[in-house]
Structures are given as structure tokens and as C-alpha cells.
Structure 1
């Protein structure tokens, strides 16, 4: 009986010590000046690409395993990198207008990780809530992490966020003026 009581006391002490000495999750801040979001949109007659700045962000780790994250993109910084001069300015202005992202009213987009599942060494399947133009929808994508760098490619359906301009989902008879609903984001992070 005495040995059983001693074992129970040791077990309680061990559990108590583990709860006080447990490893805390580590939040790593993204270096916004060394990180980049590249976008690419597609239309019937070609494509355009450019970039958007990351305003803030972090990744959360538990024992070096990714478990969470949160990002804010500065939509007022959207640029076109495939055009020059007047056409570059027109496209950038149009993307910032209410036809697309309405940056005057919605200057940022946010992504908050809701589920992170390891799928291989340094690879994760991430699900998160993406908010664009005040509308939040779930997105799932793959993310790879190597040392202090991470990258991901995310496919977004703009029609889910009420970005209607040139979308065959909202308008008939656009013919060769259709702009496809899905666009790609390539995210390169340093933290």
C-alpha cells in the first residue's frame, strides 16, 4: 500500500512538473521587407502578374512543427510587374478600384490559419480563413518550411469574395473579355 501511494505521488508530481515546464509555442514574426506575395491573374487572351506587400504576419511553431499562422496583406500596395507606363498605371488603378478589390474601403486582406496538418518532412497542408472585401471563406493550400524560410502557392476564387469584374460567373456574353475567376498567389516568407 505504501509503495502504491508513493507511485501515485510520484505520478502527480511528474504531471505537475510537466505542466509547468511544458514547451510553449513559439511565434516567429515574418520579416515583411524580405517576404513577398506574387499574384498572377488569367484572362481569355493572356495573363498579368505583380506583387502585393505583406503588412504583418507570423508563423506559430510547437517543437519546430508548424501549428498556426496569421497574415495581413496590404492591398493598397498591389502592383503590376508585367506592364510599363500608362498601361501599368491603368491596371493597378483598376485592381484597386471597386471593380476588383476596393482598397479605399478594404485596404487589407487577412489569412488566419485554422488547421495545420503535417504531410511530409517540412511540408504541411494548411487550412485558413481568408478575408477579402469583408468576406471570409476557407482556403486550403500546401506550405513548405526550410530553416527560416517558407513558401506556399494558393489558388483563390475571386468570385467567392464578390470580385465580379469580367467574371463569367456574374456576366453573360463577355466572349474574349472574360477574366478567369481563379488567380494564383505565390508566397515567399522569411522569418
Structure 2
């Protein structure tokens, strides 16, 4: 009887292990990943980048189940200007009018759900909590995600309303009479994320 129970127990363990999916965390390749941004105003636009400092994706087999990232706000860069004009805008973006980088040197994004998409231009919808300047809001955006050779690659293009994080400088939603000095509330984000 003991031998039979042992045999059944071993067989059950083998069957269960065959169906067990290995959960793991893949570190973000910060050198291969990037966040590009475009901010628009009545009279034109500016664009630049900000770097991902660290992070990882939680995967279950070939499915992303979670993850979190730290964005280094001290790396905000402006790419469409040079010289004094570039330095002036970078300083303004890092000031309390915008991202308060001295007080809040990092922003974070924590994934809360990843759902498959039926859209033709995206494979998934990613939802999560985005914290900027100490304020957290839930965001959802479409993304194209693939896993090749155990590495995840994801791209996404979406808009964020800066005023949800109390970034109101030049916003026509909060200030009257701005004329051609008005800056639109939404800014565009172009994300490329790769894991090691």
C-alpha cells in the first residue's frame, strides 16, 4: 500500500511539474530602451528624450504578467534645439513649472494588467500606475509586444495629459488669455522597451 501511494505521489508530481510554467523577471536593457516625447504649443513643438533608470518585466511563460520601471527625470533632454535655447528649455522642464526634478528626480510606472488586443496596430493593452511629481494616475495604452529568444520587445505610442500630474504651466485648461503662448495639455510618448 505504501509503495502504491509513493508511486501515485511520484506520478502526480511528474504530471504537475509538466504543467508548471516558470515565472521569472526579465531586467530592462536600459541601453536599448528609450522614451521619446513631443510637446506641442500653439506656435510649434519641441521633442526630446528621457532615460529609463531601471526596471523589469514579470513573465509567465510567454505572457507578461507585471513589471515596474523607474524613469530618471534628471535625464530629460531636448533634441530639436541647441546651445542656449536648448539649455533654457531643459532648465524650464526640470523646474517646478513642469517636472520639479530636484524634488522628484524619478518617476515610476507599475504594470497592473496586460490584456491581449484585437486591434490591428497593437497586440496588447497595458494598464498601470504612473507616478510623476509624487502624484499617481492610472493609464492604459496600446502596445506591440513580442518575445523572441526569451527577451521581450515592446513599442507604444500614446498621449498623456500632463495636467493630471499638476503640470499646468501654459495650460489653456487652467489659464485664460494665453494666446500663442498656450501649451497643449497632451504630450506624445514614444516608448521602446527591451529586456536583457
Q: TM-score range by the shorter chain?
A: 0.7 to 0.9
- C-alpha distance in 2, partners of 1:109/1:37? 12
Match of 1:131 in 2: 131
The corresponding residue for 1:89 is 87
Where in structure 2 are the equivalents of 1:33-44 lying within 5 Å?
Answer: 33-44=31-42
SS at match of 2:86: helix
How far apart are residue 21 of structure 1 and its match? 6.6
Aligned-residue Cα RMSD (Å) equals 2.4
Corresponding position of 1:172: 176
The TM-score with structure 1 as length reference comes to 0.88
Within the alignment, does 1:184 sit opposite 2:182 as a pair? Answer: no
CA displacement at 1:15 relative to structure 2? 7.7
Moved more, 61-70 or 86-95: 61-70
For residues 80-138 of structure 1, the C-alpha deviation after alignment (integer angstroms, 9 at most, x for no partner) is: 00001111000000000000000000011100011110125981101100000100000
Pairwise CA distance, 1:168: 1.1
Aligned residue in 1 for 2:167:
163
**1:114-166 CA distance string (max 9 Å, x none):** 11101259811011000001000000001212323211123111000000110
Question: Paired residue for 1:72?
Answer: 70
2:157 to 153, 178, 181: 153
User: What SS does structure 2 have at the residue aligned with 1:34?
Assistant: coil
TM-score normalised by structure 2 residue count:
0.86
SS at match of 1:99: coil
CA drift at 1:79: 0.4
Shift of 1:26: 2.0
| Mapped pair 1:108 → 2:112 | no
Structure 1 residues without counterparts, runs of 5 or longer: 1-5
| Distance in 2 of aligned mates of 1:135 and 1:142 | 22
Q: Say which SS state the counterpart of residue 81 (structure 2) adopts.
A: coil
SS of 2:87 mapped into structure 1 = helix
Unmatched runs of 5 consecutive residues or more in structure 2: none
Looking at structure 2, the residues matched to 155 and 69 of structure 1 have their Cα atoms a distance apart, in angstroms, of 21
CA positional deviation for 1:24: 2.7
Q: Is 16-25 or 146-155 further displaced after alignment? A: 16-25
Moved over 4 A (4+): none
Tell me the distance in 1 between the aligned counterparts of 2:18 and 2:163. 48
